A and B are shown apart, each in its own frame.
Chain A
């Protein structure tokens, strides 16, 4: 297996853009510390019966429709700028970006219709009520993406350059860092507990999943090493990024990781649709176990954090809850380990399995493989925690910062759901030669990974409340 240019460690383009966009939003929102809200025009989506009341601005005095138009224009402009910077024609970039934003936000808005979203009988007079909260909009966006990607592939291909799951979800994850800090400030015990349990949960899950999936792929399904390692990482750790990084670390041919990744996307969508409802049914009284379960079981950052959002909607434990923050935190810690694990695999492969002489494995590869957006997440989270702890008078300002960033986080999730749906090519499952890959994935995920993840989540999160308990002096 000789090294190809694709196998060198390269940082995905979306990673840098996600960091830049999210830090830009957080930077502007930080004016909230001084009482100003430069992003106060951003749209906040509300449950509605009359469409005119579906949107209102975060803070500014302006009509809802204008706030929505401003949000659509701002998000489309950023997406267009990214595509233009990549050298795509401006008009096509603008068209694709606008289409993705309109579809994503339109679906999110539909999900806020009171019959679907309302959880309170007193607020509206309705013929029926599903009570799914506004986050049902994510599922509407996912369905729209699936229909578009599988039934109208030409349209989907035309707008696909603007539908970047990784970009949307990584940007949103940095904003979750702001939200986690705002929710746990003044309640350090709750924050430390979630952090500590999160690290504890992934430490062994990582090792157990990987070992078992690798063993299964090699012994029962008779895959060669070149396939088994990316499969084990993709199925057990964190989907696409882990499969790609592992492929590069063991110098597998690039097509191997690409094929594994295409399966990861399809199955993570299935998990995203099934697991939140299964969690609600199996664990009606343990929202934090359910939230941790999504982080440990659903592959890819996008689908996992999205599953966390749907799970939160199904439990709706109230404002200020730690559910999405917990799912995100677990996923973030898993991402942190990808670089370390690939370093271990690179050394193992060099020592035991590589027949040809090759480059030495470098320590820097750990840093190079670490997703850049994690810097933004920890910067936002730890920075605000430090600020709030050192100067408690800033707590009110931090809430204003959160109000502004949340206005972007939720629509970004909706765009991520749309993109996940568009990228889920269900026909891939029926492609010739994919049978054995599909089977190893099915057996691993539904045979033991989700159940082990459930057990580990239960062990570490069954006694943590979804709403942090205020500490009384």
Chain B
């Protein structure tokens, strides 16, 4: 592990993450909704 990587990990421990933004909620929500819909639809079709 080089110094840059050590610094990245240290920064990760020091800086708290920002809360979920609206864009992330849309992205994750779309993934889960579309994934579930596809699973149900394809399982019924095939």
Interface residues of A (CB under 8 A from B): 196-197, 200, 203-208, 210-212, 214-215, 218-219, 222-225, 227, 253, 255-256, 258-259, 348, 351-353, 428, 431-434, 436, 456, 459-460
Given contacts A200-B46, A207-B38, A224-B15, 15 further A-B contacts (CB under 8 A): A204-B42, A205-B35, A208-B31, A208-B36, A210-B31, A211-B29, A214-B31, A255-B2, A255-B8, A259-B9, A352-B22, A352-B24, A432-B6, A433-B10, A436-B13
Interface residues as binary, B22-44 with A (CB distance below 8 Å gives 1, 0 otherwise):
11100111011011101100110
User: Are A200's CB and B32's CB within 8 A?
Assistant: no
The CB with the most chain B CB atoms within 10 A, among A204, A210, A259, is that of: A204
Shortest CB distance A236–B (Å)? 10
Q: Report whether B5 and A259 are in contact in the complex, using a CB–CB cutoff of 8 Å.
A: yes
Which single member of A211, A222, A223, A225 contacts B31 (CB below 8 Å)? A211
Return the chain B residue nearest A224 by Cβ.
B17
- Decide: B31 and A433 in contact? CB cutoff 8 A: no
Query: Complex: how many Å from CA A258 to CA B3?
Result: 13
Asked whether, in the complex, the Cβ of A225 is within 8 Å of the Cβ of B24, the reply is: yes
Of the A-B pairs whose beta carbons lie under 8 Å apart in the complex, a sample of 16, sorted by A's number, is A200-B42, A204-B42, A207-B31, A207-B32, A208-B36, A210-B31, A211-B35, A214-B28, A218-B17, A219-B20, A224-B17, A225-B18, A259-B9, A428-B1, A431-B1, A432-B6
Complex: A210 Cα to B27 Cα, angstroms: 10
User: Is A218 touching B20 in the complex (CB atoms < 8 A)?
Assistant: yes
In the complex formed, the residue of B with least CB distance to A222 is: B17
Roughly how many angstroms separate A268 CA and B42 CA in the complex, as a whole number?
28
Q: Which B residue sits closest to A221, measured CB to CB? A: B17
CA distance A208 to B30 in the complex (A): 10
Q: Could you say which residues of chain A place their CB within 8 Å of the CB of B23?
A: 348, 351-353
Query: How near does chain A come to B14, taking the closest CB pair, in angstroms?
Result: 10
Size of interface on B: residues with Cβ below 8 Å to A: 32
Q: In the complex, A197→B39 CA distance in Å?
A: 12
**Residues in chain B near residue A215, CB distance under 8 A:** 28
Closest CB of chain A to B19's CB: distance in Å?
9
Using CB atoms and an 8 Å cutoff, list the residues of chain B in contact with chain A: 1-2, 4-6, 8-10, 12-13, 15-18, 20-24, 27-29, 31-32, 34-36, 38-39, 42-43, 46
Interface contact A211-B32, CB-CB below 8 Å: yes
Query: What CA separation (Å) do A290 and B43 show in the bound complex?
Result: 18
Are the C-beta atoms of A259 and B35 separated by less than 8 Å? no
The 3 A-B residue pairs with the shortest CB-CB distance, nearest first, are: A352-B23, A433-B9, A211-B31
Query: In the assembled complex, which residues on chain A have CB atoms less than 8 Å from the CB atom of B4?
Result: 255
A196 and B45 CA atoms in complex are apart in Å by: 11
Whether A253 lies near B8 (C-beta < 8 A) is yes
B17 near A223: Cβ-Cβ < 8 Å: yes
Closest to A205 in B: B35
Q: Is the CB of A258 within 8 A of B5?
A: yes
Q: A208-B32, A352-B22, A431-B1 are in contact. Are A256 and B8 (CB under 8 A)?
A: yes
Q: Which of A210, A219, A433 has the most CB of B within 10 A?
A: A433
Contacts of A207 in B (CB 8 A): 31-32, 34-35, 38
A460 to B41 CA separation, bound complex (whole angstroms):
12
CA distance A237 to B15 in the complex (A): 27
In the docked arrangement, what's the CA distance between A214 and B24, Å? 9
On chain B, the residues within 8 Å of A222 by CB distance are 16-17
Min Cβ gap B37→A in Å is 8
Give the residues in chain B near A460, CB-CB below 8 Å: 42-43, 46
Find chain A residues with CB under 8 A from B42 CB.
Answer: 200, 203-204, 460
Say whether A352 contacts B21, CB under 8 Å.
yes
Chain B residues, CB < 8 A from A352:
21-24
Contacting pair B10 A197 (CB below 8 A): no
Minimal beta-carbon separation of A335 from chain B (angstroms)? 19
List chain A residues, Cβ under 8 A from B28. 211, 214-215
Q: Judge whether B39 and A208 touch: CB under 8 Å.
A: yes
Known: A211-B32, A259-B9, A433-B9. A204 touches B17 (CB 8 A): no
State the Cβ distance, A1 to closest chain B Cβ, in Å. 12
Min C-beta distance of B34 to chain A, whole Å: 5
User: Once the chains bind, are B46 and A203 in contact (CB under 8 Å)?
Assistant: no
- Measured CB to CB, the nearest residue on chain B to A344 is B27
| Contact B9 A432, beta carbon cutoff 8 Å | yes
A195 CB to nearest chain B CB (Å)? 12
A256 neighbours in B (Cβ, 8 Å)? 8
Which residue of chain B has the shortest Cβ distance to A436 in the bound complex?
B12
Cα distance A351–B21 when bound, in Å? 12
Return the chain B residue nearest A459 by Cβ: B43
Once bound together, how far apart are the Cα atoms of A215 and B29, in whole Å?
A: 10
Chain A neighbourhood of B6, CB < 8 A: 432-433
**Residue of A with least CB distance to B2:** A255
- Assess the A204–B39 pair: CB atoms within 8 A: yes
CA distance A206 to B34 in the complex (A): 10
